[in-house]
Structure 1
Amino acid sequence: MKKLLFVILVFTTLSSIQAINTNLTNEEREWLAKHQIISIAPDPDFPPIEWFDENGIYQGISSEFMDLISRDLGIHFEVVHCNNWDEVLQKARDRKVDMLPAAAQTPQRAEYMDFSSPHLIFPGVIITRNNFPEIKTTEQLQGKKIVVVSGYVWQDFLSIYQPDIEIIPVKTLLDGLRDISTGVQDVMIATLPVAIYYIEQEGILNLRVSGETGYFTKLSILTRKDWPILGTIIQKSLSNIPADKKKEINRKWITLDRKSIFSNKQFWIILILILVFSLVGFIIILLFNRILKQQVKKQTIELSISEQKYRTLTETSSDVVFALDTKGIFTYISSAFEKVTGYQSKQFLGCSFTKMLAPEYIETTIDNFNRGIEGEKIPLYEVEFLHKNGIRIPAELNVSS
């Protein structure tokens, strides 16, 4: 039984060694045999380079590179989840992770990590709102509020080469893009494919790539400095990946062609909401107009009934009732007028009321009329009308506006 167990263990060990990169030295092979599990900490918010999806699964370009290296070396990479890039760097400094799959080379990181040759190279770009003045180069950043992701290479770059620029660190690239979109900040410096990915995925339609920094983020595999042999092993395995395979991985995850707005899910959600609210608004306006028309019709009928009642009362009254406009012109004269004055009503319609007064009453009556128009209450006063046959007819006038 012990002999059988020994045979199985030897077979397993030999099989594992056969899976290891043949370019490795015996010392490197022995070291890997003792370190079969290497911990790695990807950036949780750096798509399409690397990120965790909604299920917490490690995704992106670097995940495929890690898979190739894992199979080439016959080891297992244990993925450590961090909340943000600052936490990733802190764990690397504290030796709580052994390797970073895709990070830029900076003097600060060189104090605690070794670097492979760059396997991913992307330009740094200047992101602004569509209606913001165009910024082509970093020389135009003076006086602007510049957003960068805390701990990213662009923070180090601006701090070293343009220390006078105001830098506002944010925790994630998406936070920064939203600040630019809403006008909280002016400009963001970011890595091109990552910025494009978030702009398209989040449907942030008022942002654009305004210019380039003139610098590139060169992403390497970073290994802990106290394990120099691990850096050598990773570099050999990385070099072992064919150039065509690297291009295939990049093409799978990166497209710099701007997607049509019609392929954006958020665009259709916003459009549907606009249409729904427009339809609701249109229905409300229709209902309001209908109610308004009904009210106008009702009031018109009531006014017509009221006017008819008024005419009935005035036409059956023995008193003369007439209406004047603001210039003192007759607009209505009751039928009693003809009996009292001998004139037909139509002869005076459109004429001044002074035409029917005795001359000595004209001035007083005009004065009372003007005061009545201004809202003053005029008491009954006596006048004399002129009959058709020349006789004077005593009357009392009641002015009501």
Structure 2
Amino acid sequence: MAHTTSSCRRTVFGLMAFCLVMLHGAVAAQTIRFAPEKDYAPFVSAGPAGQVQGLSIDVLDILKPRLGANVQVLPADNLANILQAARRGEVDLISSLRPTPERAEFLAFTEPYVKVPAVLVVKQGPIPPTLKDLADRPVAVGKGYAVESFVRTNYPLIRWVAVSDDVAALQALLRGDVDGVVADVASVSDATRHSGIRGVQVVESLPFEYELSFAYRKELAALGDALNAGLKDITPATRQALLRRWIDTETLTYEDPRLTWVRKLAMVLSVLALVMVGVWRLRAKRSSDRAADGL
């Protein structure tokens, strides 16, 4: 009898322990650990009071009701540290990322929710250099950013200098530590408007586009499905409103300053063509009138 009672007690305690473990797992599954970047404005950054803000945060707020879980916002950090934490399994969700083969080893990605081009930025001057002109010279690029591996592969003659973020890169440009910066045009626009960056200009568009997505741990397929479903439901009007709030959308339509004269010349030629057509029509009418008078 005592043996039976002891066995029952062990069974009850085992069931209780199992239930506690399952309960802990359920609570953990209902918490999504989101790691925001502290310095990737206007997409995501830490504000003056430490609060995270940006276009990607607004998109995430729209998606939260679809996730079926609480979103725990981790302390803002730089991208390199966030990716290391994600590789260790300490982060569930990251915003504002472009898929790369290296990141795909431990992360999965949603469809992109915003696209912006990468550009070369230099100090203002009468004859700005292109990347070809900067061979063997230092050019800054964000450390761990998707564009870093692209430029190192496609522009090997340049001395690439990896920096923590785009603002730090632009500050290095103004100090003269580097001769150029490669960054996305939206971040450059934000830095010139809000970070006191002056005296720089965009001179070249690179064949690289930031297609920014949400990234999540590969094990969390259901989270990815929920994110993608929510992104599909965001209307074009809402997307445009978010862009207008955070990004000077005119900067997204890139025009190489060295080709501005071509556009102006084309406009002048178009006006001249219209004038010549008008003159020809006027002469034709006068000739027709004289011919009629002769009759």
How does the TM-score come out when normalised to structure 2? 0.72
- The answer (yes or no) to whether the contact 2:243–2:249 under 8 Å persists in 1 is no
Matches within 5 A, 1:307-346: none
Q: Structure 2 residue aligned with 1:79, among 53, 61, 73?
A: 73
- The answer (yes or no) to whether the contact 1:112–1:225 under 8 Å persists in 2 is yes
Tell me which residue corresponds to 1:35.
Answer: 29
Rounded Cα–Cα distance in structure 1 between residues aligned with 2:233 and 2:249: 27
Cα distance change, pair 32–240 in 1 and its aligned pair in 2 (3 A): farther
Cα distance change, pair 127–39 in 1 and its aligned pair in 2 (3 A): same
Q: Structure 2 residue aligned with 1:92, among 78, 82, 86?
A: 86
- The answer (yes or no) to whether the contact 2:33–2:92 under 8 Å persists in 1 is yes
User: Looking at both structures, which has the greater relative contact order when contacts are Cα pairs under 8 Å and sequence separation is at least 6?
Assistant: 2
- Structure 1 residue 211 and structure 2 residue 208: aligned? no
Deviation at 1:99, TM superposition (A): 0.8
Which entry has the higher C-alpha Rg, 1 or 2?
1
Deviation at 1:203, TM superposition (A): 2.6
- Structure 1 residue 202 and structure 2 residue 190: aligned? no
Rounded Cα–Cα distance in structure 2 between residues aligned with 1:123 and 1:246: 17
- The answer (yes or no) to whether the contact 2:35–2:77 under 8 Å persists in 1 is no
Tell me which residue corresponds to 2:125.
Answer: 131
Tell me which residue corresponds to 1:149.
Answer: 142
- The answer (yes or no) to whether the contact 2:37–2:44 under 8 Å persists in 1 is yes
- The answer (yes or no) to whether the contact 2:106–2:217 under 8 Å persists in 1 is yes
Deviation at 1:252, TM superposition (A): 1.1
* SS, match of residue 219 in structure 2: coil
- Structure 1 residue 166 and structure 2 residue 159: aligned? yes
Question: Sequence identity, in percent?
Answer: 25
Cα distance change, pair 151–192 in 1 and its aligned pair in 2 (3 A): same
Letter in 1 for 2:106: Y
Deviation at 1:218, TM superposition (A): 0.7
Letter in 1 for 2:47: D
Q: Structure 2 residue aligned with 1:179, among 169, 172, 177?
A: 172
Q: What's the Cα RMSD here?
A: 2.1
What do residues 222-279 of structure 1 show as CA deviations (whole Å, max 9, x unaligned)?
A: 0111222322222122212222211111111111458xxxxxxxxxxxxxxxxxxxxx
Deviation at 1:210, TM superposition (A): 1.4
- The answer (yes or no) to whether the contact 1:40–1:80 under 8 Å persists in 2 is yes
Rounded Cα–Cα distance in structure 1 between residues aligned with 2:200 and 2:80: 26
Tell me which residue corresponds to 1:112.
Answer: 106
Deviation at 1:110, TM superposition (A): 0.7
- The answer (yes or no) to whether the contact 2:66–2:226 under 8 Å persists in 1 is no
Tell me which residue corresponds to 1:223.
Answer: 216
Letter in 2 for 1:193: A
User: Structure 2: 5+ residue runs without aligned partners?
Assistant: 1-24, 252-295
* SS, match of residue 101 in structure 2: coil
- The answer (yes or no) to whether the contact 1:196–1:256 under 8 Å persists in 2 is no
